[in-house]
Amino acid sequence: MSLPDAETVAQHKTAASQWFEALRTRICAEFEAIEDSLATGPHQDMEPGRFSRKAWERPSVNGDASSGSGGGGVMATMRGRVFEKVGVNVSTVHGQFSDQFRGQIPGTEDDASFWASGVSLVAHMQNPHCPAVHMNTRMFWTPIAGWFGGGTDLNPAIEYAEDTAEFHAVLRAHCDRHAPDYYPRFKAWADEYFHVPHRNRARGVGGIFYDDLHTGDWEADFAFTQDVGRAFLPAFVPLVEKRRHTAWTEADREAQLIHRGLYAEYNLVYDRGTKFG
């Protein structure tokens, strides 16, 4: 399989990074609108939350600020009356793999260059009946290939079967636009990936997860990754709208805090992104 020329690769990188930034902007605007429209509940009198943004820069050599820029990104975080805490972050970074990771990435023996861009979010809610959620999509490039990965999964402290079904139905519809095997394959991948082995249970109620997507048709792979991003708001926001005014008890709040502990435990021990660094 022939590799695209340098100009095409540059165009692909620009298109992907601009898409991830646009998706971040759309999600932040929708979340702020949800903050504005809260009608009842113990946090009704709080000021609606607004995202604060903080830019960061990555040194081209790890830890060496004098080595030049290795790209960077923007962290957008909000604390509000519907969203207890949410982060919607974008980044575009580049550089050289360390010797440790160079040996783990095929094709980097002669050239350890990499480029990566993506959007990532985690939302934890004030109301225990509103599910927490995670979503990310990304493009990764090395001299031998450019590939996509990501997904989204729902993490309710108090599960509603109909909410789980609605979430998965939206994901299935968006996957089915691209290939009939994408949803069942990527759902199974999520079920495996978000499993907590030492507790023999899932982190949440699943979703979809995929990695190393490189079919040889960059446009098709990018289009699918865009649709994963587009699926997020229609999959998640209706569940928030349905549950955010539900009354809750101290027992509900305790269940929420325990579930957050499970979420944090998974991220610290098993998450691939944490291990990658």
Contact present, 231 and 152 (Cβ < 8 Å): yes
Q: Choosing from 12, 124, 134, 259, which is the catalytic residue? A: 134
List alpha helices for the chain, DSSP H. 6-36, 99-102, 161-176, 182-193, 218-243, 250-269, 272-276
- Three-class DSSP category at 153: strand
Question: Which tokens belong to 62?
Answer: 């790890």
Dist. CA 41–CA 187, nearest whole Å:
35
Query: Quick one: DSSP state of residue 77?
Result: E
Q: Which residues pair with 136 in a beta bridge?
A: 120, 151
Active-site residue 134, yes or no? yes
Residue 206, beta-bridge partner list: 154
Question: CA 53 to CA 83: how far, in whole Å?
Answer: 16
Residue 28 to residues 24, 162, 254: CA-CA distances in angstroms? Answer: 6, 26, 28
Q: Find where tokens 């979340």 sit.
A: 31
What would the two tokens of residue 53 be?
A: 């943004």
Active site (catalytic) residues: 134
